[in-house]
Structure 1
Amino acid sequence: MTQPIRVIVIDDSAFMRKVIGDLLEQDSAIQVVAKGRNGSEAIELIRKWSPDVVTLDVEMPVMNGLEALEKIMKETPLPVVMLSSLTQQGTNETIRALEMGAVDFVPKPSGAISLDLHRVETELIEKVKAAARIKISRLLRTPPSAAGKRSLSYTSVNNKTTDEVWRGKMPVGEMRKGKIENVVAVGTSTGGPKALQVFLKGLPQDFNGSLVIVQHMPPGFTKSLAQRLNSLCQIEVSEAEDNQTLQSGHAYIAPGNYHMEVKQRADGELYISLNQEQPRGGHRPSVDRLFESLSHIRHPAKYAIIMTGMGSDGTAGLKKLKETGVRTVIAEDESTCVVFGMPRAAIQAGTVDIVAPLHEISAQLMRCLHC
């Protein structure tokens, strides 16, 4: 018989500790072995019980979630799922927690005391189960900087030669002067905030193209993510707005709960279109919807990147892009993925040209753009 996933629940509210524990134990594969009311108790309970996963509230007295997470990752590293309120402080601190090594997070629907926590029951259980399967070494590893790299390690797939992979299909002469020369679509999920930080920090301020990004995240958190990335990167990063014209040297992150598509005006300008149509494969925003929207656009040159995440979102969209002339598709290598679901699905479907570790994806992209 398979051993249950042993979980410790940490929350400063006795009511929330009971609700979270009861929800988790509705799944026979999960056993809540202990509960604590602050970060200090979390450290003691982890030492005593050696759990498989910890759920950790962000906002707590004595020792808050970020302080506890830092100590956990330093002293007794293990998978942590954060529970966060939708306040500005809560969303900002959650983004920081993901940078520090938390596997994922679940938003409390109505604040610190959420009487309606049952609304996220399925999400909470799924994320705790996923966390238990993750190799902790991948959360702790800090990829080397992409800056200054001279040698690139990658795998060329689909039997393409090096020149074919980097040069792509569209002659440079076909690009329209005065318009964006390159558009890069990026899809990611679990582990994505940290991966996006590494990737985007590797791009120069004068990056010759526009990036459109889908990161699976609920409303509120995508804005905090964009603001955090903008403070760290040389390029401009913002949460996307409807009808916004794409600019070179700028990255746009799809807002939570909205599909993001790229469309083209009569004069050739590219712009963002947001909608709240039905979720695709359980996701809104959907990577597939973003990639498929680009399949209808011939110019400028198109590139796609698929990084860490559960499931297969993005693969169907990459198939469409392959049919309509994407220059290069890059997938994150398993060695650096927190979860190798989305890249694996894309690779197995034959839609990927280059497989590279996270810290080399930006350098791979720059080489593609300059060929």
Structure 2
Amino acid sequence: MSRVKVLVIDDSAFMRKLISDLLLESPSIDVIGTAKNGKEGIEKIAELDPDVVTLDIEMPVLNGLDTLQIIMDKFPRPVIMLSSSTKEGAENTIKSLAFGAFDFIPKPSGSISLDIFKVKEELIAKVLAAKRAKEKVQMLKKEIDTFPRKEMMKEKSHRQRKKSLIAIGTSTGGPSTLQKIVPCFPKNLNSPIFIVQHMPPGFTKSLAERLNEMSNIEVKEGEHQEIVRNGVAYIAPGGSHMKVIEKQGNLFIELDQSEKKRGHRPSVDVLFESLSNLKYYQTIACILTGMGSDGTKGLKALKERTDATGIAQSEKTSIIFGMPKSAIQANVVDYVEDLMEIPYLIQKLI
């Protein structure tokens, strides 16, 4: 496989050097150029045609968000944002994902991060994944309109006697995917939604706020010991596992900072496994775009212990097909659906 050609855009000469050096530690990556601001970055993209761009959000002359929109309009390709974990940085990061960025890396200690080496493995992995997903980047910046609909199977009559729960797990490509499907749910949705999106602390709150602004239902970060309500989507806070437990006939959110599960906290498996302990509910569990296999083991537990339906996002609409593919190969999925079919199938099933 040819080496991935990367352009690094950052207003700090020090950070440009650090990021370039980290990427060059991978034999599969070639840093073909750097740029000190968005304007110069656009010119370098036109000249060098990189496979992947790393882009700082906070820059003079032309900031990261404006630069990203020009890239996605004129030179669409995978862009990985580098951002601070400040409130403003997190908000702009979520906006960038809506504008079409492939993914993001949080700078460990602000704009000038001497400890950027801490995210080296994550940065390299996302650059390599971005190259593999290059042909799908155009989809990230477009609204998906309609896909051909399939005939749905008639559901078992006993489902009508059970309360419904909706659970969603996603990773790379997830924020833009969630911004397409969560607004499709109606205000009177007779079910809660539990969402695990792989993100570090600080960013999930901004994601929840943006989804809440866009949606008919309420969307919020889950809080420890919070009682669960229908018509509310609860997002697992970055850095915490989210579980759902039953006490005296009510469901409650439970958060903890226990060990990461297969490298993740929050973990989709942890959420799904907690739901597998709820006997008198039917769960519709969805595994969307993302790297790895998080969610497969939890969905298996759900299917073995409860009345659960598994849905996986189709390969053609997944930015990264890793998580859905893992669940499909484990034979724990009932439906494989294009992205914009999923919210309508869920509503039919409940």
Q: Same fold (TM over 0.5)?
A: yes
Aligned to 1:93: 92
DSSP-derived class of the 1:292 partner: helix
User: Relative to structure 2, which stretch is displaced further, 55-64 or 328-337?
Assistant: 328-337
- Which string of whole-angstrom CA distances, capped at 9 and with x for unpartnered residues, describes residues 290-335 of structure 1? 0001001112322111111111100000100001123321111111
State the AA in 1 paired with 2:100.
G
Structure 1 residue 62, shift from structure 2 partner = 0.6
Residue of 240, 261, 271 corresponding to 1:290 = 271
Equivalent pair of 1:38/1:60 in contact (CA under 8 Å): yes
Aligned to 2:149: 152
Q: Is 1:279 aligned with 2:257?
A: no
Equivalent pair of 1:152/1:364 in contact (CA under 8 Å): no
Percent identity between the aligned chains?
49
Structure 1 residue 153, shift from structure 2 partner = 2.7
State the AA in 2 paired with 1:205.
K
Q: For 1:357 and 1:169, how far apart are their aligned partners in 2?
A: 26
Residue of 147, 167, 172 corresponding to 2:160 = 172
DSSP-derived class of the 1:70 partner: helix
Structure 1 residue 348, shift from structure 2 partner = 1.1
Aligned to 1:258: 240
DSSP-derived class of the 1:77 partner: coil
5 Å-filtered alignment, 1:90-239, equals: 90-134=89-133, 135=135, 136-144=137-145, 152-153=149-150, 162-163=153-154, 167-168=155-156, 170-173=158-161, 175=162, 181-239=163-221
Structure 1 residue 130, shift from structure 2 partner = 0.7
Q: Is 1:329 aligned with 2:310?
A: yes
Report the TM-score when normalising by structure 1.
0.91
Q: For 2:217 and 2:160, how far apart are their aligned partners in 1?
A: 24
Unaligned runs of 5+ in 1: 157-161, 176-180
State the AA in 1 paired with 2:150.
S
Equivalent pair of 2:159/2:282 in contact (CA under 8 Å): no
Q: Is 1:27 aligned with 2:26?
A: yes
Aligned to 1:178: none
5 Å-filtered alignment, 1:309-320, equals: 309-320=290-301
Aligned to 2:51: 52
Aligned to 1:347: 328
Q: For 2:258 and 2:211, how far apart are their aligned partners in 1?
A: 27
- Higher relative CO (Cα under 8 Å, sequence separation at least 6) belongs to 1
Aligned to 2:348: 367
Structure 1 residue 171, shift from structure 2 partner = 4.2
Report the TM-score when normalising by structure 2.
0.96
Structure 1 residue 138, shift from structure 2 partner = 3.4
Equivalent pair of 1:304/1:326 in contact (CA under 8 Å): no
Aligned to 2:337: 356
DSSP-derived class of the 1:93 partner: helix
Q: For 2:87 and 2:21, how far apart are their aligned partners in 1?
A: 28
DSSP-derived class of the 2:6 partner: strand
Q: For 2:207 and 2:62, how far apart are their aligned partners in 1?
A: 24
